[in-house]
Structure formats: structure tokens, C-alpha cells
Structure 1
Amino acid sequence: MASSAPSTGAAAAARGARRTERLLNLVIALSATRRWLTKEQIRTAVPQYADCATTVAFERMFERDKEDLRELGVPLETGGEDPLFGDEAGYRIDRDAYALPEINFTPAELAVLSLASRVWQQASLAGPATRALVKLRSLGVEPDETSLVGLEPRVRTSEPAFDPLYAATRDRAPVSFTYRRAGGEAATRRVEPWAIVSWHGRWYLVGHDRDRDAPRVFRLSRVSSAVKRIGRPGSYEVPADLDPREVVAGTVGERTTRRARLLVRTGSALAVRRRAVSVRPVPARAAERGPDAAAGTGDGSGEGTGEDVVELDVADVEVSADELAGYGDAVLVLDPPELREAVLRRLRGAAGAGTGAAGTGGGAA
């Protein structure tokens, strides 16, 4: 019986995913038109209903789905074009009651929305994240994609354990995996996943270690085997007062930082600006004397040049260089020299392994 638990849990998760997709398609079909849709029209419009072998099976499934939508607060209406003539009952969603109000976001909020969609670009939420952005665009909200190009390499994750651990966290399903500790020792761990957190460029799992009967933190890059489910979804509870970032910070600890200075084009690199210690516009008269002079006199006086001196704390030079290099000529690294050189090294590689032009480009990042 124990060996069948993981497969049973996976089957339940798959059924839940199919049900969610079916309900989403039903909502789209019923809200895409002002007309009343008959059951037969709905059966044709929603692909998942085609799997029903008989009309009776379809009607049972449709009745359950209607109740589910109403429980979720979706304003599902029943009616017909002309009840006086006994037309077949139809269904639709009251779009005025269901529609979102006018939405306005600040540039920083749009940056977060776009970043969130990129976090899941290669994970299990890729479809829903993309659809969410499509819905926002349909309302006239346009996320700032260009300002986040430099973040894309950092929010993708190449750890094979990420997807199965994220799914187990979502489903509250206990798992087992082989974990290699910092000293090189590997052992099988049985864990109830609570949350997955990104901390200083690395992904960590926070959960309850069953063998040690205590909360533990696991770096995903040290998971050296396939992740296996060892229990049913929903078989444990996540502590209500859990702050996963605080747990990771207390376990992994803070990293030593150094101050970096950047010359940033106004309106660009929003994610960098959000983490900045200070942002100062560059006066035109200072810019005429070169980047170093501009960086030293950015006091906000005089006519601006369209550039700002941005100061922020950097914990890992190589990780920060990965991010800053993606902004191209919108960001110029002034110091520290190690960060400037790390960014230049990436740009030279992208330009063709150290061409003369890349070597004299001034360190744009």
C-alpha cells in the first residue's frame, strides 16, 4: 500500500489540474458572449467536455461545475432568449458583475507583476502567469517588459528539484529526496514542504524534517536525487505564523555586502532602483566632465541629463554582474572595479569573446 501512495497523490493532483483548467475554460466560454449558451453549445465550446462518453455523464459534470463556479463567487445566470416560446434554457456570466474595476499601477508595481510572471516562465505556473498578463493587457495595463530583461537570468531556476518541490508545497504533500550537506555527506531526507524562497540568488526549501522532528532549510542545488512523494496531498498543515524568509535568514545568515555605484538611464532598471540606497540625478554640467565627475557631483542641482547615480549594496559580485549585464547600455558600473570587470567580461563574451569594440566600450552594463 505504501508504494502506491505517491502514484495516488500524483493522480489526484492531475485530476485537480484538469478540473481547474475545465472551470477556467467554462468561465471564458460563458463570459465571452452576451448571448445565452445552451448546454450543447457549452459542450462544444469547452474541450474537456468532449471526453464525456455520454450525454448523461456530461450533464452530471456540468451540474457539478455550475455549483463550483457559484461557490467561487462567479455570477452565473440561467435564462433564455424568449421564455414565452419555451426556448431551451441557456447560461451566461454577468460580465458587468464579474468585470474588474479600472486598475492603475505605478511603474514599480508593473515591474513586480512582470517579474512575477518571469519567475514561473519555465515552471509549473507558466500558463497561468502568461494568461494573467494577457488579461491585464486586455484592460489596458501594459507591464514594463524591457525594464526587466536583466532580471530574467536570475529568476529562472535550473535546479531539477524546483518543479516537484513547488508542486509538493502547493499540494501539501510530504516528499523524500537525497540531500548533500555542505560537507559532502549525503542522506535521505523526509520532509513536509512549507515554502520555497529565493535568498541572495539561491533557492531554498523550508519545511518540517520528519526524521529530526524539527523545521529545516534545504538548498535546492544540493538535492541530488529525484523528489518522491511519500504521502497524500493535504496530509499536513503549514504553520500559520510561518515567515519563510526569516527562517532562511536565520539559518543561512546574511552575507557581507559592499557598496556599488551605477550610472543609470532615467526610467530604466526599475528593479535595481527599488533596492537602491540612494538615487541622485546627474546635473548637465557635471556630465560634460565625464562619468566619474558626474558620479561625484550628482546632487540634483541644475538641469538633468537623463541619468541618475544609483548606489546599492551588493552581496555577490558574480550574481550582480549577471543581472546588470542584461540592462545593456542603460546601466554603467562606476565601482567597485571587480563588479565593473565582471560585467565587462559578460558583455565581451556576448559580443563575440573579446572584440576590440567590446574592450573599449566604457563598461556599460
Structure 2
Amino acid sequence: MTTRRPERLVNLVICLLATRHYLTAEQIRRAVPGYEADDGTDRAKEAFKRMFERDKAELREIGVPLETGRTSAFDDEDGYRITRNAYELPPISLAADEAAAVGLAARLWHSAALGGAAEGALHKLRAAGVSLDEHAAVPLEPRLDSGEPAFGACFAAATERRELRFDYQRPDGSDRTPRRIHPWGVVARRGRWYVCGYDLDRGAPRAFRLSRFAGRVKAVGPTGAFERPDDLDLVSMVASAGPASEVTARIRVRPDAAEGLRRVGKASADDVDLIEIPLSDLESLADRVTSFGAEAIVEEPDQLRDAVIGRLRRLAAMPSASVKNGPVGAGGAE
């Protein structure tokens, strides 16, 4: 898939922010997705040159401090970098309504490919021996689901400062529980939306993930029913929240297979092919296990096993369903 120009420009900025040294045009060409591949022809070289010149001009036009220079006296051509101090904005303080507006605008960000491509560019630079400033790397968020059903009601309740009522499902898929909160705001973290506020039943601040809401979300009572804390930091509130469940999923994988599951979990002390993964999101983990086909079988908990089996049944019911990784077994995947 061709990388769109805005994505290529952001990838370029991330690469140049992350390096301590000047990168030559050829290093940039190899690291940043979207540039004309070098097939040895003059046409490809000229196409890259024109594209790179346009990108440099556009970055400078919008105020990006693109520097040109050489890392050492032994370099035979100029390179490029962006100094973090010159690039960063000064500290920004937003009022509650301004922060809410920024959060709503972020809801329109649809660039899963951007995050993956930009991180890939950094990996390529490291592999090429380029020294990277880890503290200068720009944190990347995966795509946010702008279709989260509970978003509108939560955002409106937080804006109007009305009590919010909803049913909430635990990560392990157990029974729903009714919750009542004073919503302070809605925030995104690591590709997930959360509403943060004061839990009226538990008498303490809490953060709730919108994807775990079940049924209807309802705002009740008058507007302006509560005040937000003066030192409110929604992102820190979500980041510091402990896991909602101590449930651990145990998944048996074939020897020397299912490397993706091995990376996100850890092997049991007694069996290297029994992978233990904290169950923070049942639906997401069920999707992941299903994608590994017959290489993975859920041993526990039952809720995860049932979720995987449900996916397998839906696949089996599809007219042209095909099994990619081998035969399907109970608790396995396609």
C-alpha cells in the first residue's frame, strides 16, 4: 500500500527527531516508508530526489526546524536532523473545556498504519547502526475506534457534569455490574477510550474502559451536579490504574510455534509451551488466540475458551471458510 504524504511527513519527522546524528538522504530513503525504492535506475533516483525536496520544503514551511549538517569531518555529504529543543512547544495549560475539545478532535485520528510504519522506520535505523535518542522518540498511538457506542453519552455527561449510570463488564467476561459515577472526562490511552470520574458506590476515583460498557449508558440528574478536581490529570489517572482483574489466561501452544503469544505472555515454570497471559481484555485476547489457528489451545479460563469457540463456530458457518493453519479443534482457532 502506498504511504500517503501526510503519513510520510510524520514518519520523516519522527525519524529525524529520534537520531542524534545527521541522516543522509539515502539513509532516510531506506528508513522512511513511502519514498521511491532504489531499483538502480535514474528514474527512481530522480523521483526520490523530487519527493524528498518537496517534503523538506513543506516541513520548513510549516515551521519544523530541519537542520542540515555533518556529524563528523569524515562525512562526504550533508545530512538532516531535527533538534528536540527547537521542535518542542512550550508547556501548554488547557482549561477543562479546551482539554475536552482536544480529546474530541483526537477521536477523528485514523492512522493505524502511521504508528506501525513510523515504529518500523525507527527499527530500520537501529538495525543500520544509527544512534537513536530514545527520549526524543515520539510516542505513537494505535488507531482509536471512533465508533465506540458509549463515547457520545460519556462525553456529554462529562461536559454537562451530570451523573452517569451504566453496566460494566469485567475483563474476564463475568457478570455485569451497575455503576454510578460523576464523570470528570473522557481520555484515550494506547488505543482505548476511558471515562474517568468519582465512583459514587465505591467512594473513590475510578477509570472505566468504554469497550467494556454493556447496554444503555444514561446521564441522570441536573447539569453542574459536581465539580472536577483542580489538579485533574486524566492520562495519569488511567496510567496509574491497576489491572481490573487478576485472572491469568493459560494457553497451550505447539512447540516452536505461536511466537506472538509467547512474546505477550510468559512460559509456565513447569512447561515452556504453556503460556500465561494476564487477562486484561477477553475479546482482544480471544481474537489473538483465534488468529494462531491450531497452534494455540485455551486451557483456562472457561470464558476465554468459550469466546474462542464462538469465533470458530462463526468461521465454520461461513460458506467459503478455509482453515489456514491446520484443522480446527475445541479451544483452538482457525
TM bracket, shorter-chain basis: 0.3 to 0.5
Radius of gyration: which is bigger?
A: 1
Superposition TM-score, scaled by structure 1 size: 0.39
Superposition TM-score, scaled by structure 2 size: 0.42
Name the structure where helix makes up a greater proportion of residues: 1
